[in-house]
Structure 1
C-alpha cells in the first residue's frame, strides 16, 4: 500500500513539474508578445529576454542531468532548441535581430507538447 502511494506521488510530481514548466513557458510567451509590440529596445524586451534566459538556463540544466528521465533523443532535441532560444535572445539583446516571432512560435510548440 505504501509503495503504491509513493509511486502515485512520484507520478503526480512529474505531472506537476510539466505543468509548472508549461506555465513558465506560457509566461515567457506573454512577455515576448508584449516585448514584440513595445520594440526590441524597450523595457518589456529586456524583461522578456531576461526571463527567457533564466527559464532556458534552468531547463537546460535539468535536461543535461543524468537522472533526467526523458529519452535521449527528446533530451537532445530540447537541448538544441534551448541553445537556439538563448542564441536568438542574445541576437535580440545585441540588436542583431528582432525575431520575437520565432521565439514565440517555438515556445508555443514546446508548451503545447507539455
Structure 2
C-alpha cells in the first residue's frame, strides 16, 4: 500500500484548496448564469444564486482576514476589496430585480479563472 509522507500531503494541499475554491465558484457561477438566462422569471432562483455568491465571499473574506492566511498582505487586501464589491453588488441586484447579473458573473469568472 502506498503511503504519502506528511510533506507530500502538505505540498499537495494548496492545489487541493484551489480546486475546491474553483468548484465553489463554478457552482455559484452556474446558478448566476442560469438565473441571468431566465431573466425576471428566475424569481427565487435568482435570490438563491445571489445568496450563494454572498455565502462564498463571506467564507473567503473571513479566511483572507485571518492573520494565519499565508497570502501576501497586498493580495489579501485586494481580494477583500473585490469581495466587498461583490457583497455591495449582490445587495444592489437583490434590491433591483431587473438589474443584470452580468457584472457579478464577469468578476467572479475572472477570480475563478485566476485560481488555475
Q: Same fold (TM over 0.5)?
A: yes
User: Does residue 80 of structure 2 align to residue 79 of structure 1?
Assistant: yes
Matches within 5 A, 1:16-35: 16-35=16-35
For the aligned residue pairs, the C-alpha RMSD in angstroms reads 1.7
Matches within 5 A, 1:86-97: 86-95=87-96
- Residues 88 and 99, structure 1, Cα contact 8 Å, conserved in 2: no
Q: Over residues 9-47 of structure 1, what are the superposed CA-to-partner deviations in whole Å (9 max), with x where a residue is unaligned?
A: 112122111110011111111111111122256122111
Name the TM-score, length of structure 1 as normaliser.
Answer: 0.89
31-40 or 90-99, which deviates more: 90-99
Secondary structure (helix, strand or coil) at the match of 1:39 reads helix
Q: Over residues 34-93 of structure 1, what are the superposed CA-to-partner deviations in whole Å (9 max), with x where a residue is unaligned?
A: 111222561221110111111100000000001111111111110000000011000011
* Unpaired stretches in structure 2, ≥5 consecutive residues: none
- Residues 85 and 103, structure 1, Cα contact 8 Å, conserved in 2: yes
Number of aligned residues: 111
Distance, in Å, in 1 between the alignment partners of 2:36 and 2:112 is 19
CA shift for structure 1 position 97: 6.6
* Structure 1 match to 2:11: 11
Distance, in Å, in 1 between the alignment partners of 2:56 and 2:50 is 10
Distance, in Å, in 2 between the alignment partners of 1:82 and 1:97 is 23
* Unpaired stretches in structure 1, ≥5 consecutive residues: none
Name the TM-score, length of structure 2 as normaliser.
Answer: 0.88
Distance, in Å, in 2 between the alignment partners of 1:46 and 1:5 is 45
